[in-house]
Structure 1
C-alpha cells in the first residue's frame, strides 16, 4: 500500500461526518469472461461474440473508490485502472476536507494534475461525485433519491439491451419473443458494421423477423456510432417501417451531421447522449435540434447532479431521458427521483449487467420488467472487497 499525507484544513471537533478525511482505492477481481450464468436458453443461443470481460482493460483491472468521512464511507465501483489513476493523481488531494454533503462545491476543489477533459477525466470526476452522494446518504441515513428531493416511484421499468446478441442469428427471433414475454419495457438490438455495409434491404430482412417476434413490445436499434451520414439516412425509411421507438447513435456523439439526419425526416426518433461527456457537447446535442431522445450516463457525464440537470433540461425541450446502463444504481436513483414522463425506463444490458452486479453482495435483478429504486441509505450496496490492504490511500493530517 502506498500512502500520501495531505495537510487538511482546520476544523472543529463538531465537523460533519461527511467531511472527507481519506481517499482510498481497493482493487477488485476482474470481470468474469463469457456470458453470465442464469440467462435463458433463448438469449444464450442468440449470442454472437461473448462479452469481452477481461479482454477490455477497464474490466480486467477494476477498483472501488472509497471516500472516508467520520465513521462512515462513501463508495463507487467499479472503475477502471486509468480512472482510478486520475482520481489519485488529480483529484484525491483536493478532496481532503471537502464536505460530501455540499455537491455544488465539489467542482471548486483544487486539482493537482492536468487532466481536465475527455472521457477518462469525466469518468473520474463522476466516480468521485457519485461516491460523495453515497457518503452523504449513509451519513444522513436517507436514500439518495431522498436527498434529491424524494422518491417519486419505488420501481422503474427496464428495457433490455440485446447488445452482445447477434441479430442475424437464427435464434434471435426466439430471444426477441422472450424479452417481450419477460415484461421488459422494450428491447434494443445492435446494428453491426457488416449489417450496415450490407445495406437497407439486408437490415430490413434481418430486423423484420425480430420486430415481428417482439409483438406489441417497443423495438429500438443501436448503431454504436458506426454509420456514415449517408448510410444512416438510407436506413431511416427501414426504421420507420419497423416502427422503431428510437434509433440510438446512428452517428458518433460529436458528429455535426445530427441536424441533417433529423431534417431528413421519416419520423424516426433519434437518441444520443451517453458519449457526450463534456458539458458543452451535452448542451449542443440537447439544444441543437439534432436528437429527440436523451441518454445520459451518471458515471460518464459528470455525476448525478449533472445528469439530473440535463434530464430536466431535456424535459423542458420535450425529450424523454433513458439513462445509459453502465452505472445502473445511479441511473435508478435518477429515475426514482423523476416521473415516468421524464424517465420512462432505464437500460438493462442482458449480457453484461449481471456480470457487473457480481461485485455487490445483493445484486440488482429485473422482476417482471421492473427494477427497484433503493429506499435505504447509500447509492448501492458496499462492494465485496478482497481481504487485503487498499491499493493506494491519500489522507489528511
Structure 2
C-alpha cells in the first residue's frame, strides 16, 4: 500500500524532530534604561527604569537550541541558572526524544536532582517550549495549529504600566494615551509606599488615572505587597474605581487568599504567574482567584498552560497570560477563543527590551498582536557568540 502524501509529510516531519544535540548560545545582555522610541507620555511618567543588567538573569542570558535532523528548535532568553539546570539535569535525557510527541517529554531521563522550585520549573518549561518550536519548524505549520488549530490570527493586548509612576504628574496623560492607542485595557502598579499610605491615598492617586482611561478597562497590580488587612481595606476603594481585576494583592503563596475572596466587594482577584508547581496552580484556581494569569515559561510549558486555561474556563474564569514569554502567550491565546483568553499582557517599558533578543520583534498595532509566526514558536533569537556556551550530543 502506498502511503498518502499527508502521511509522508508527517513521517518526514517526525524524522526531523528527534533531538540529536542540545546547545546553549550566549545572548547579548538586556540594555539598560528605557527602550528607544517610547512615546513621550509614557517616557514622561516612567518612574521606574527597567532593571536591565542590574539583574543577573538579564545580564547573562542564553538561547537553548534543540537540534534535530536538519532543523532546530529554540527558546530564549533564559538566565544562567536555568541554562545550567538544562545542561546538568535535562540535556542528556533529551537526546533521542521526539519533540513532536509532547506527552512523552515528562518521562525523559533526568540526570540531576533538581525537580522542583522556580528555576527547575523554568528549565523544564524552556525545554518544552523549544520542543514545540522544533516540531512546528519541522512540520512547517504554526504552533497554534499543533495545539489544535488557530482560532484567532491576532490577539488583543492590555498595557502593563508597571514601569510608570501612578503618582507622577504625567501619569494622567499616559493613561489617556494608552486608551487612545487601542489597548484592551491598562494595568497600573500599587507601590508599597502607596499601599502603606492608606486607602484614601490610593483613591487620590488612582482616581485621576481611572478618569483619564475613560471607557477603557482599568486594572491594578500590588506585586504581592499587601498584608491581608491592607488588602481588605483596599477592596472598597478598588470597587469604587471599577477595577476590572486586582492582581496579587497578597503574596502568591499566601494562605489569606480565600479570606480575601470571601469578602467579595465585587473586585475580581487575579494571580497565577508565580504558581510554578502543579499543586499550587490547582489550589489557586479552585480556592483563591477569579482571574487566572498563567506564564508558559514558568508554569511547565504550553501543554500545561493550555490545561490550566481550560480548567479556568470550566470554573468560569478568564485567563490573561503573563507577559514574560510573550510569544508562548500569543500561541496559547491564538488557540483559544476570546472568552477563555480575552487579552495578553504587553509591558510598556519592558517588552520592547525583551523583544530585542529576536530577529523579528513583536510590535503592537492598534492594540493588537499577531498570534505567532507561520512556523516556529517565535522568531529566531539573535546570537552574537561564534561558538555555543555548551553542547550535549548523542
The TM-score normalised by the length of structure 2 is: 0.96
Match of 2:300 in 1: 302
Deviations 1:138-184 (A, max 9, x none): 00111000001110011100000001110000000000000000000
Quote the Cα distance in structure 1 between the aligned partners of 2:13 and 2:381. 29
Asked whether the equivalents of residues 145 and 375 of structure 1 are also in contact (C-alpha less than 8 Å), the reply is no
Q: Does 1:156 align with 2:151?
A: no
Which ranges in structure 2 are unaligned for 5 or more consecutive residues? 1-11
* 1:1-397 alignment, distance < 5 Å: 16-288=15-287, 290-396=288-394
- Describe the SS at the equivalent of 1:320: coil
Structure 1, 237-246 or 355-364: larger mean CA deviation: 355-364
Quote the Cα distance in structure 2 between the aligned partners of 1:81 and 1:14. 31
Match of 1:10 in 2: none
Deviations 1:354-383 (A, max 9, x none): 000001111100000000112511001111
Deviations 1:113-160 (A, max 9, x none): 111111111000000000000000000111000001110011100000
Quote the Cα distance in structure 1 between the aligned partners of 2:51 and 2:373. 33
Deviation at residue 14 of structure 1 after TM alignment: 11
Asked whether the equivalents of residues 26 and 385 of structure 2 are also in contact (C-alpha less than 8 Å), the reply is no
Asked whether the equivalents of residues 159 and 184 of structure 2 are also in contact (C-alpha less than 8 Å), the reply is yes
Quote the Cα distance in structure 2 between the aligned partners of 1:14 and 1:295. 33
- Describe the SS at the equivalent of 2:323: coil
Structure 1, 168-177 or 382-391: larger mean CA deviation: 382-391
Match of 1:6 in 2: none
Deviation at residue 49 of structure 1 after TM alignment: 2.2
| Structure 1 residues 84 and 375: CA distance shift in structure 2, 3 A | closer
Quote the Cα distance in structure 2 between the aligned partners of 1:59 and 1:386. 16
Which ranges in structure 1 are unaligned for 5 or more consecutive residues? 1-12
Deviation at residue 344 of structure 1 after TM alignment: 0.1
Deviation at residue 236 of structure 1 after TM alignment: 0.1
Q: RMSD in angstroms over aligned alpha carbons?
A: 1.2
Total equivalences in the alignment:
384
| Structure 1 residues 129 and 210: CA distance shift in structure 2, 3 A | same
| Structure 1 residues 375 and 31: CA distance shift in structure 2, 3 A | closer
- Describe the SS at the equivalent of 1:321: coil
Deviation at residue 387 of structure 1 after TM alignment: 4.3
Deviations 1:22-74 (A, max 9, x none): 00000000000000011111000001121110001110000000000000000
Deviations 1:82-131 (A, max 9, x none): 10010001100100010000001101101111111111110000000000
- Describe the SS at the equivalent of 2:15: coil
Deviation at residue 16 of structure 1 after TM alignment: 1.6
More helix by share: 2
Deviation at residue 265 of structure 1 after TM alignment: 1.1
The TM-score normalised by the length of structure 1 is: 0.95
Match of 1:4 in 2: none
Runs of 4+ in 1 over 2 A off after TM superposition: none
Match of 2:6 in 1: none
Asked whether the equivalents of residues 320 and 341 of structure 1 are also in contact (C-alpha less than 8 Å), the reply is yes
